[in-house]
């Protein structure tokens, strides 16, 4: 394995900012991933795994590591015990897999349509949208354990899925390189409609009993209206999508936040454990930031106040300074601290 040196990473990330990888290699099969790990181990070089780059901000100085771009491909589908199992290599484009599941009539992923990135990223942050999370249907994750050099498998409960989190992201970040993911789906199952925006989109089309394809079409339309699908012609294309997760606060803290908001219509979603999820986008807007607001070479999306957008000549430093400004304003206004959703590489302090 002969990695390239000083490869610019901005071209590999949807945000389009950041410096080079000290070493860079593209892995098209599992043998290449193992070889990259061995190469890095022998030279005591850290490994960083790059997928679609849609949830990543790289420091302007780059990253002193071997960046392994995952390009493993392959999909296997089978019916077993009345369920359907769809297994995909980590480098498969995520939305292609969702479309495949919908076309087969296998329910479970339809609301996750249009999310950019690759399959391998989905269990990392328990990707979710419009009422579904992959943690609901992941049955198995195969990964390289960089601590032992062995390939291991995780059942669903071992992944420790939580809101935008898993053992792969916060449990032991960087330890596991996802190689493939299996999803257990429902053949002939009903489409999931749990989200108000999806309900409205279906009602506007006069659809009472939606199919999987109806829900997928509705979700894609919603995401396009918010510049949340990859489109090279979209003025908001250089972003990581939602830059912050929706904050989850203790139930007994909600009254204080509501009082500071002074607005009975503040969006909130009570959770089974007594905590309350809030809308990060709503908090940002009520803290004084409007869609389309710019601050030098960065700003908010013109269509979604949760997306930080990089414009011409933007640097990673500019993106992070603006994001910290949003975070600080929300904390001062509501006493709620927003958590960044993208992975941050290099000498980036948050």
Residue 337 contacts residue 283 (beta carbons within 8 Å): no
Does the structure show a pLDDT above 70 at 241? yes
Residue 193 confidence (pLDDT): 96
Q: Return the pLDDT at 55.
A: 94
Instruction: Determine contact, residues 36/48, Cβ cutoff 8 Å.
Output: no
Task: Output the CA torsion 200→201→205→209 (10° steps).
Answer: -80
Does residue 37 register a pLDDT over 80? Answer: yes
Three-state secondary-structure class, residue 60? coil
Integer Cα distance of 169 and 123 in angstroms: 9
Arithmetic mean of pLDDT, 178-205: 96
Confidence check: pLDDT of 343 > 90: yes
pLDDT > 90? residue 347: no
Residues 6+ away with beta carbon under 8 Å from 306: 242, 243, 244, 280, 281, 284
Residues catalogued as catalytic: 164, 242, 341
Looking at residue 35, its pLDDT comes to 97
- What is the model's pTM? 0.93
Q: Where is pLDDT greater, at 167 or 350?
A: 167
Query: Does 307 or 1 have the greater pLDDT score?
Result: 307
Q: Residue 106 — φ and ψ, nearest 5°?
A: -105, 115
Confidence band of 172 (pLDDT split at 50, 70, 90):
confident
Mean pLDDT (the chain) is 96
Q: Per-residue b/e over 136-166, b at no fewer than 16 CB within 10 Å?
A: bbbbbbbbbebeeeeeeebebeebbbbbbbb
Return the ∠ at Cα 280 (arms to 278 and 285), rounded to 5°: 120
Minimum mean pLDDT among 102-106, 172-176, 279-283: which range? Answer: 172-176
In the predicted model, what is the mean pLDDT of residues 299-323? 97
Please name the residues in contact with 181: beta carbons below 8 A apart, sequence gap of 6 or more.
Answer: 87, 88, 90, 119, 120, 122, 123, 134, 138, 140, 141, 142
Q: E strand or H helix at 129, and its extent?
A: strand 128-129
The owner of tokens 């699908």 is 229
Other Cβ atoms less than 10 A from the Cβ of 265: the count is: 7
The per-residue pLDDT for range 265-278, each reduced to its tens digit, is: 999 999 999 999 99
pLDDT tens profile 73-126: 999 999 988 899 999 999 999 999 999 999 999 999 999 999 999 999 999 999
Per-residue model confidence (pLDDT) at position 1: 78
Q: What's the topology of domain 75-225? A: 3.30.465
Domain ranges for the chain, please list them: 4-70, 75-225, 239-345
- Using alpha carbons only, give the angle 114, 118, 121 rounded to the nearest 5 degrees: 105
CA distance linking residue 97 with residue 78, whole number of Å: 14
CATH code for the part of the protein at 239-345: 3.90.78.10
For residue 329, name the pLDDT band (cuts at 50, 70, 90).
Answer: very high
Place of tokens 């989200």: 195
CATH class of 4-70: alpha beta
First to last CA, the chain: 34
Percentage of the residues of the chain whose pLDDT score is greater than 90: 96
% pLDDT > 70, the chain: 99
């Amino acid at each position: 394995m002969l990695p390239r040196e000083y490869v610019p990473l901005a071209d590999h990330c949807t945000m389009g900012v950041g410096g080079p990888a000290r070493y860079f290699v593209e892995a098209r099969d599992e043998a290449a991933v193992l070889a990259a790990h061995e190469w890095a181990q022998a030279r005591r070089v850290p490994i960083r795994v790059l997928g679609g780059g849609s949830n990543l901000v790289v420091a302007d100085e780059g990253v002193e590591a071997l960046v392994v771009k995952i390009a493993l491909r392959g999909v296997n589908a089978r019916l077993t015990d009345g369920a359907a199992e769809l297994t995909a290599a980590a480098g498969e484009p995520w939305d292609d897999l969702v479309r495949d599941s919908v076309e087969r009539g296998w329910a479970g992923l339809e609301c996750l349509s249009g999310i950019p990135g690759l399959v391998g990223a989905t269990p990392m942050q328990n990707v979710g949208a419009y009422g579904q999370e992959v943690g609901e249907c992941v049955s198995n994750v195969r990964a390289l354990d960089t601590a032992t050099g062995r390939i291991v498998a995780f059942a669903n409960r071992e992944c420790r899925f939580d809101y935008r989190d898993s053992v792969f992201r916060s449990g032991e970040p960087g330890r596991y390189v996802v190689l493939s993911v299996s999803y257990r789906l429902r053949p002939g199952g009903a489409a999931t409609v749990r989200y108000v925006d999806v309900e409205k989109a279906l009602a506007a089309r006069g659809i009472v009993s939606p199919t999987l394809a109806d829900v997928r079409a509705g979700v894609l339309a919603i995401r396009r209206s918010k510049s949340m699908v990859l489109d090279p012609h979209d003025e908001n294309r250089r972003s990581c999508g939602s830059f912050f997760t929706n904050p989850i606060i203790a139930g007994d803290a909600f009254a204080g936040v509501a009082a500071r908001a002074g607005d009975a219509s503040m969006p909130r979603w009570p959770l089974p454990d007594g905590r309350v999820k809030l809308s990060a986008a709503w908090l940002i807007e009520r803290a004084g930031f409007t869609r389309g607001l710019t601050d030098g070479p960065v700003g908010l999306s013109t269509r979604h106040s949760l997306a930080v957008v990089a414009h011409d000549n933007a640097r990673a430093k500019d993106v992070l300074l603006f994001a910290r400004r949003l975070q600080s304003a929300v904390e001062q206004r509501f006493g709620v601290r927003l958590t960044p959703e993208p992975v941050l590489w290099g000498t980036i302090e948050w």
